Amino acid sequence: MEKLVIRGGKRLEGTIPVSGAKNAALPLMCAPLLTDEPVTLENLPRLADINTLADLLNHMGVAITIAAGQGGRIRGRSLTFSAAEINDTVAPYDFVRKMRASIIVLGPLVARAGEAIVSLPGGCAIGNRPIDLHLKALAALGAEIDLEEGYVRASAPRGLTGGLIRFPFASVGATENALMAATLAKGTTTIENAAREPEIVDLAKCLNAMGARITGAGHETITIEGVDRLHGCTHTVMPDRIEAGSYAVAALMTGGDVFLEGAVAHDMGAILDKLREAGGIVEEKADGVRVKAGAGGIKGFNIVTQPFPGFPTDMQAQFMALATVADGASIITEAIFENRFMHVPELCRLGADITVTGASATVRGVQKLKSAPVMATDLRASMGLALAGLVASGETTVNRLYHLDRGYERLEEKLRGVGADVDRVPG
């Protein structure tokens, strides 16, 4: 099992190209299940989760053609998905256990094939993330739902029918499933209290390019006029705002100056606001975002995670790492997932001063972190530990590197490109 070895103390300076967004790419890869024509997705990142979902789609009969990305810098791939026929509507446990996002095949499969049998999902162990909203959304469109032996069976042999879907709270995955299923439903579907994340907007853009009739994506109410069929298209995956935010934190922590090529400031409002509050200098440009350390050092800050446009839970661990070396105390409240402080003991192994009380963590900045072997517990926690390693004295080893590979494309290569001393080594 591979490990990341980081020798801290290097100032980061230069340009980091931002990859395509994992959280946008995964639902986009499921959209081709809705049509018998090829769909090409450009700027797909090279990630373990992308490969896992591609394997699942292959299992279902989707043919995937891969072409290398173009350009001198690190670029994503262009993949063409052809679901001319769906040979298998079962998403087995061996696939789904690796990544809970696999549940988003449910909606398009039911809409196109009239049936889906999907294992209950796996993925990061960051708390209880039930799929009941996904199932209630499909039931509102006329699907019959059964749970048996760890699998969800959804069927609509006569097709789905448009209806009202009212979520009790905004759920990104459930909104994506409902959005895709409703494109082929008969009549009009309204989704109330829909998730507003940029990744939802990106999915709607792709679906509309395929012939769907979706309005309101990015707002609390989305309306979908069902169509008889969808066709192929070519769509470019949006830049990854979480990857960009993670490297922005790295720039500030190391006293550096990094240009995040391709980052979209509009999608990162809450992240950039907190970087400024922590003492960073942020320049929003047409082709990216520049982040550099301010003269006054890193200042304490307070965060409460919220659905978009609030501060994203996927940036909580990275900002906790930033808070460990801030001047003063920070309070970080996790309001999305109830078990997303598992990185705290590992940060404390590096010398951090963190006290957790319920859903809040008080982080008192220390003058210096010290190296130690640490264990990644989930995707974003692993990035938080890597960031701490960048400023810790000595050599920090991050174990369970497979967590990082689920969401960060060529991490060590990108970090080395701006001056970090980091290597991937065998376990």
Mind telling me the catalytic residues? 124
Task: Judge whether 314 is annotated as a binding position.
Answer: yes
Evaluate whether 363 touches 330 at the Cβ level (below 8 Å).
yes
Answer for the pair 47, 99: CB distance below 8 angstroms, yes or no. Answer: no
Tokens of 28: 């986009």
- Asked if residue 6 belongs to a known ligand binding site, the reply is no
Answer yes or no: is 132 a known binding residue.
yes
302 known member of a binding site: no
Beta bridge pairs of residue 116: 154
Tell me whether residue 186 is annotated as binding.
no
Q: Is 271 one of the annotated binding-site residues?
A: no
Compute the distance between CA of residue 221 and CA of residue 73 in angstroms, rounded to an integer: 39
Direct distance between the N- and C-terminal alpha carbons of the chain, in angstroms, rounded to an integer: 5
The identity of residue 270, as a single letter, is A
Ligand-binding site membership of 131 (annotated)? yes
Q: In 3D, which of 42, 1, 91, 3 has the Cα closest to residue 239? A: 42
Task: Give the other-Cβ count within 10 Å of 398's Cβ.
Answer: 26
- Other CB atoms within 10 A of residue 161 CB: 17
Cβ-contact 350, 396 below 8 angstroms: yes
Does the annotation flag 17 for ligand binding?
Answer: no
Residue 185 C-alpha from the chain's centroid? 28
Q: Is 23 annotated as a binding residue?
A: yes
Cα radius of gyration (the chain) = 21
Distance CA 345, CA 353 (A): 10
Could you tell me which residues are annotated as the binding site? 22-23, 100, 129-133, 314, 336
Could you tell me which residues are annotated as the binding site for phosphoenolpyruvate? 22-23
Could you tell me which residues are annotated as the binding site for UDP-N-acetyl-alpha-D-glucosamine? 100, 129-133, 314, 336
